[in-house]
Amino acid sequence: MRVENISFVQIHKENSFRIDVDYLLFNQGKTIENSISFPDLFEVIEKEKVDFEELESFSYAEITDVTKQGEVNPQSLDVNSRNEVNENYFKKIEKGDIILPKENDILISSVRPNLKKYVLVGKDNKIYFTKAFIHLRPKALSKILYYSLREVFYENLIIVTRQGKGYPTIKSEDLKYIKFDKNIIDRLKKNEQIILPKIIQIENEIINIKSQIKSDTEIINDFFEKRFNWDIVKFNELQRIRIMKSNFSSFSNNIDNRFSFKFHNKAGDFVWQTLKGQSTKQIKDYLAEEITLGKSITPSDYDESGEQYYVSMADIKNWRFEVEEAKTVVPSYFNANPNKQIALNDIIMARSGEGTIGKVALIDNEENQAVYADFTMRIRLKNYNPAFAYYYFRTDFFQYLIYTHKKGLGNNTNIFPSQLRELPIPEISLIEQEKVVHTIRTETDKQRQFDKKINEKKDEINKILRDAIE
């Protein structure tokens, strides 16, 4: 433990009135003469607006659509194809939650900036972003400063974040208190003509690597479509049908008397008939125990220094339990909920919320102890390969069953254990299931090698910057 005596006079001299020890210690000795302020290097853009009426077909990215390496995987939206799946995006956009940054602008995540979800906007950018990003426009050294914020000046940025019981956050007004070492900035400017070409060359190499990557979801879909002869072409054609005719008797043939287009549409019926025609089994036939909902939580149950986690819907949105993004809880909360804890080979499914409902994560290790959230479900299977089930749940066919069976309006939609247990599941031997799992894992592991190569290239950029300032 380090103890420092800070006088009220010293605190008074600090314009931000920050009194946390990390901030004060970090800025000790930094004067106007040997440092450069944030406003000297960046302009915070807050007034540029987007006219929603001018939008038709466009790409839109939220913080969750950006990786920790700054790669953007935007949502494709079309104003003429609004539906229950993407309606939540449009509602936020209509309220003004949208920006269109320019080339070389930098976007900083306002929530959990420590995850480095920072974006350098490329040439001829056509991706719109949520205002949950802080929009910066560098006054010079744009590309170099972007990579420096991720590495050389990372601590400068993080030191002004706001800490509490929840996630760390940062606001645009916090940034003006950041101070940069003037000597480092001067060296970066002096070596700009040497640094920049090297960075651009590595970026081009990264683009070439990315062109070879195939998403895990694409791999899974391709395999299941071939293995089970799913007619994806017909499925896609039926999804484009927006008007259908039916009769009253069809509405009475379900326990809820559901009469929505979503529940009765031809694409959903096609998927149901295909899967039912290939198997007599339902998920309930392989349950080791009943599917259960998770546990709710209060702010006082969180503990930033805790060793156990809370698995929320947001923590499985990328089809895996992302421990590094999950909040930790106090031991008393974890110990009080033994029946709501995850275990090896559990499958956790989000049961609510547009954009997350139906997404699943397979718990593939015993290291992380956690309680799963009340808006998720825990699925435990017997006599069935959990990895095979996990891949099956990720397919477009199964996810469409979730879409057709979920209940509710707008963003308040839910899928319940009583519905999930009745859905069809492939009926093949454990040996065949293991073969499928092995084949898919082999292909997805190949993609991880591409990710590794990209990370190595990013490390090369960091080394270039560090060599330039030494």
**E strand residue ranges, 143-223:** 179-181
Residues 6+ apart with CB under 8 A from 273: none
Q: Residue 32 above 80 pLDDT? A: no
List, for residues 74-108, the tens digit of each pLDDT value: 888 888 877 655 677 888 898 889 999 999 999 99
Beta bridge pairs of residue 409:
412
List, for residues 360-418, the tens digit of each pLDDT value: 999 998 889 999 999 999 999 999 999 999 999 999 999 999 988 888 766 577 899 99
Compute the chain's Rg from CA coordinates: 25
> In this predicted structure, what is the pLDDT of residue 64?
82
The torsion angle over the Cα atoms of residues 379, 382, 387 and 393, rounded to 10 degrees, is: -50
Q: Is 56 exposed, middle or buried (0-12, 13-18, 19+ CB in 10 A)?
A: exposed
List, for residues 301-358, the tens digit of each pLDDT value: 998 888 999 999 888 988 999 887 788 999 999 999 999 999 999 999 999 877 788 9
Cα atoms in the Cβ-side hemisphere of radius 13 Å centred on 305: 0
Q: What is the pTM of this model?
A: 0.73
Torsion over CA: 111, 117, 123, 125 (sign): negative
> In this predicted structure, what is the pLDDT of residue 262?
59
Tokens of 1: 């433990």
Distances (CA, A) of 174 to 23, 42, 114, 405, 441: 12, 13, 15, 45, 44
Q: Is 364 exposed, middle or buried (0-12, 13-18, 19+ CB in 10 A)?
A: middle
Instruction: Report domain extents, the chain.
Output: 1-30, 35-179, 218-428
First to last CA, the chain: 30
- What's the residue count for the chain? 470
Fill in the DSSP letter of residue 458. H
d(CA 307, CA 330): 8
Quickly state the pLDDT bin for 134 (edges 50, 70, 90): very high
* CATH fold match for the domains 35-179 and 218-428: yes
Q: Which CATH architecture describes the domain 35-179?
A: Alpha-Beta Complex (3.90)
Report yes or no: 296 and 374 within 8 Å, Cβ to Cβ. Answer: yes
Within 10 A of 60 (CB to CB), how many other CB atoms are there? 21
List, for residues 153-184, the tens digit of each pLDDT value: 999 888 888 765 557 888 888 898 888 999 99
Q: Residue 199 above 60 pLDDT? A: yes
Q: Residue 459 above 90 pLDDT? A: yes
The closest of 354, 383, 359 to 311, measured between CA atoms, is: 359
Report yes or no: 426 and 278 within 8 Å, Cβ to Cβ. Answer: yes
Torsion over CA: 257, 261, 266, 271 (sign): negative
d(CA 395, CA 235): 13
Of the options 3.40.50.300, 3.90.226.10, 3.90.220.20, 1.10.1060.10, the CATH number for the domain spanning 218-428:
3.90.220.20
